[in-house]
Structure 1
Amino acid sequence: MKPTTPKIMILSASFGDGHTLASQAVEVCFRSKGIQDIIVLDLLAEAHPFLNDLTKFVYLNSFKALPSLYGWIYNLSNELRPEASFLRAINSVGTGKLKEAILRHKPDLVIHTFPQLALPDILKKSGQRLPLVNIVTDFDLHTRWIHSGVDRYYVATEDMKAEMVKKGVPESRVLVSGIPLRPDFQQDLQNSRPGLTGSLDREKKTVLLMAGAYGVMQGIREICEALLEGGQYRILAVCGRNEGLYNGLKSAFGDRPDLHLFGYVQEVALLMHASDCIITKPGGITLAESLASRLPMFLYRPVPGQELNNARYLKEKGVASIASDAKSLRKEIDDLLLDEQRLAGVRAEIENLRKPDAAEVIVGDILDQWFRPDTGTIPPVQIGSARPRLVIH
């Protein structure tokens, strides 16, 4: 049994903000419990900065230029077994840097918030024993998250757990925790809107429009034009790090009192709690934040891949709508926000999915399973021991 003050390593990636935010949420939760020895490693950025920048550039531009190509690659690789040479090649990127980090920091447990699973093979070859856990940061399950060397999976929904079990993952290794969010999403901000939103009254319905951390969602201007027509709604438009988008909207709508523009903001929870619904691209973290904030979601032109699959899942659950043009989006919003009975039904469905305390659940479970001598534990992985065979459909 390890000591009660373990050393934790979190492996993440900086594609968008989602994986980074999930890592930060878990780190903050560990520190709140007195566990200070935590290493967060962006493996690709540390090992291959140029390749990391190139990959991020291609990823972000795929939303504008070749979304169908990204979706094709995503779906094709999802049909592969974890042992497939293509996935093994992807996972091997950064192996040298990871070996060096493991030797230098000597962690007691490693958490993945991004499916870069080089470590199982490293441990197998070296004969080491080290607990590994995965925190899946989407509502869609991709094969890359699954590996026979992973001891514990933390997932967003019961449906994802069932899918994992169907693919051969032992049920005891999967916990439905939700996706970890920052502490401010666990607070009741409903009646406290200072700063960013303190000047807003509640006479009009407020629509939060989030273009993503890098402002890559398309059609923002058309959406603003459609929603401002008639003066029924107030818009909080968050442009992320896209200064061109911010300046373009300011130039086009700067004199419209119902449009409030923001660049990149940290106070997302505050904006969500000041809003009645959200229009966004369907990244896993933003969707989990929206659920935590009890916001009906309108998902605009989701690109093929995990975002389209996220959108389809939440639409199936009755908490999101998908729109491909500004006119139909406006109609979807009107139909929901102006129908109190339907709106109450959507919010009831949101309650079934929201898990604002996911970080607490994950950290508590990790401590219970591995680092508290008075509780039952999952045995650490014995390298070379038999594992149930994974069946990838």
Structure 2
Amino acid sequence: MIHFESNPQPKMLILYASYGDGHLQVARALKSAMEELGNFRTVMIDLMAESHPWLNEMTRRFYLKSYTNMPSLYGWMYDFTKPMKHDSWFGGLLHSFGKDKIKRILLAEQPDIVVHTFPSFALPELKRSNGFHPPSYAVITDFDLHCRWVHPSIDRYYVATEDLKQELAKLGISNQAVQVTGIPLKRGFRAAVPSTELYHRYNLNPNNPIILIMAGAQGVMPDAAPICSMLLDDAHVQVVLVCGRNLPLKNTIQQLFQHHSGKSRLCVLGYVDAIHELMALSDCLVTKPGGVTLSEGITAGLPLFIYRPVPGQEKQNAQYLAAKGAASISYEAAELASQILKLVHDPLRLTNSKLSIKRLPSSQTAADSIVLDILSNIRIIEKASTL
């Protein structure tokens, strides 16, 4: 039996991964929610990077390369492994990475709670072998369910939609073990509203439509230049392009569109931490369909345009939201530009699109809901252990 010492501030260990930016963002949002409650005892660890740094770097580069240069290969791997079970040969292999490291982390950190924002379940695997570990929770960071997330030793799952909860139920996970909370977002999304100060900060005109294009944390969305060009041919719109960490893309776009600088027509930015500010000002969002970015757009009430979703979880995210009437998918730059311009110049179409967005669960309070639920559950377990 697990023994919990009475502690008004239980320690939370968050295990994430650096395959993309979303898992880290979710981890940070949960840490921030704990700190908002006055609890500063959260530890974040990239388990794969800590336990197998060389293998982590190699697989991370393979992920990025296959994702951008060989998307069909990545999509095939995703679809092939999607139904795998935790106790299959390959599932067991994936969950085995970091076992020795997590043992040392448990001894060093003595956490009361473990939260996974990436489906690498070395810790739950340990529970099967020695019967001991703190309660484990999983925060699923997409709108699509890959069975790598499903493990019998996870105590509770937090998901974006009721549909995901139903999918888990079909796989034998009880309703009590799944909470529909949305995907945790940074705290700025709780109070993001347009203001005169923000319009001035980004040199934007509040009287003309603003189209926000997010190329992803690594700036890998294709055709950014022609998309901007086609949109800017309409003299009544403004474009904000966020290039992420892709400095060459940022420099190229700035050079190509110098004639728009200073006229509130094009704003080109690198990595933006306060993305909630730009979303508060915008009329729609063009993005890669990562789960966190889509949740940010939904929470901001923005119609979503998804361009060339690659096979895998992002294509599944895109198709799910398109089926809900909350997103448009396109594969050609001209098609995308046409869809956007039709929307921003048609008040009725814009209103209907925003209504479809509002029907989806908001993630505005997801981080708070998850943390409060975990802390409540810990108190129940702690009380039971004393009986």
Question: Fold-level match, TM-score > 0.5?
Answer: yes
TM-aligned CA distance change 1:311 to 1:96, over 3 Å = same
**2:366 matches 1:358:** yes
Give the 3-state SS of the residue equivalent to 1:15 in structure 2. coil
Supply the distance in 2 between the matched residues of 1:289 and 1:129 (Cα, whole angstroms).
Answer: 33
**2:296 matches 1:289:** yes
Q: How is 1:16-35 mapped onto 2 (pairs within 5 angstroms)?
A: 16-35=20-39
Cα contact 2:219–2:244 (8 A) shared by 1: yes
Supply the distance in 1 between the matched residues of 2:383 and 2:30 (Cα, whole angstroms).
Answer: 20
**2:68 matches 1:64:** yes
Q: Number of matched residues?
A: 377
The equivalent residue for 2:117 is 113
Supply the distance in 2 between the matched residues of 1:187 and 1:236 (Cα, whole angstroms).
Answer: 21
Supply the distance in 2 between the matched residues of 1:242 and 1:169 (Cα, whole angstroms).
Answer: 41
**2:320 matches 1:316:** no
The equivalent residue for 1:260 is 267
Task: From 225, 231, 234, give the equivalent of 1:230.
Answer: 234
Supply the distance in 2 between the matched residues of 1:174 and 1:297 (Cα, whole angstroms).
Answer: 27
Which structure carries more helix by proportion? 2
**2:79 matches 1:75:** yes
Cα contact 1:299–1:322 (8 A) shared by 2: yes
The equivalent residue for 1:328 is 335
Task: Give the TM-score, by structure 1 length.
Answer: 0.92
Supply the distance in 1 between the matched residues of 2:235 and 2:33 (Cα, whole angstroms).
Answer: 42
Deviations 1:279-307 (A, max 9, x none): 11000110000011111110000000000
Task: From 342, 348, 351, give the equivalent of 2:355.
Answer: 348
Give the 3-state SS of the residue equivalent to 1:364 in structure 2. helix
- Displacement of 1:247 in angstroms is 1.2
Q: Report the more deviating stretch, 345-354 or 7-16.
A: 345-354
Deviations 1:32-90 (A, max 9, x none): 11211111000111112222222221212223310010000001101212211101111
The equivalent residue for 1:389 is none
**2:182 matches 1:178:** yes
Supply the distance in 2 between the matched residues of 1:377 and 1:328 (Cα, whole angstroms).
Answer: 57
Cα contact 2:199–2:205 (8 A) shared by 1: no
Give the 3-state SS of the residue equivalent to 1:140 in structure 2. coil
Give the 3-state SS of the residue equivalent to 2:118 in structure 1. coil
Cα contact 1:63–1:216 (8 A) shared by 2: no
Give the 3-state SS of the residue equivalent to 1:111 in structure 2. strand
Supply the distance in 2 between the matched residues of 1:110 and 1:122 (Cα, whole angstroms).
Answer: 13
The equivalent residue for 1:367 is 375
TM-aligned CA distance change 1:198 to 1:224, over 3 Å = closer
The equivalent residue for 1:203 is 207
Give the 3-state SS of the residue equivalent to 2:44 in structure 1. strand
**Deviation above 6 Å: which 4+ runs of structure 1?**
376-380
Task: From 192, 195, 206, give the equivalent of 1:191.
Answer: 195
Cα contact 1:197–1:274 (8 A) shared by 2: no
Q: Report the more deviating stretch, 351-360 or 141-150.
A: 351-360
Supply the distance in 1 between the matched residues of 2:177 and 2:69 (Cα, whole angstroms).
Answer: 39
Between the two proteins, what is the percent identity of the paired residues? 40
TM-aligned CA distance change 1:298 to 1:120, over 3 Å = same
Q: Which runs of 5+ in 2 are unaligned?
A: none
Which amino acid is 1:114 matched to? F
Which gives a bigger RCO, structure 1 or 2 (Cα 8 Å, sep 6+)?
1
Supply the distance in 2 between the matched residues of 1:171 and 1:192 (Cα, whole angstroms).
Answer: 46
- Displacement of 1:379 in angstroms is 7.3
Give the 3-state SS of the residue equivalent to 1:64 in structure 2. helix
Supply the distance in 2 between the matched residues of 1:52 and 1:102 (Cα, whole angstroms).
Answer: 21
The equivalent residue for 1:388 is none
Deviations 1:216-272 (A, max 9, x none): 111111211111113231110011111111111112112214111101111100011
Supply the distance in 2 between the matched residues of 1:378 and 1:311 (Cα, whole angstroms).
Answer: 43
Deviations 1:294-325 (A, max 9, x none): 11110000000000000000111111000101
- Displacement of 1:193 in angstroms is 4.2
Q: Which runs of 5+ in 1 are unaligned?
A: 381-393
**2:137 matches 1:133:** yes
Which amino acid is 1:217 matched to? M
Supply the distance in 2 between the matched residues of 1:86 and 1:192 (Cα, whole angstroms).
Answer: 54
Deviations 1:187-234 (A, max 9, x none): 142235438745322222100011000101111112111111132311
Supply the distance in 1 between the matched residues of 2:146 and 2:65 (Cα, whole angstroms).
Answer: 22
The equivalent residue for 1:41 is 45
Task: From 278, 292, 311, give the equivalent of 1:271.
Answer: 278
Q: Report the more deviating stretch, 11-20 or 194-203.
A: 194-203
Q: Report the more deviating stretch, 335-344 or 181-190.
A: 335-344
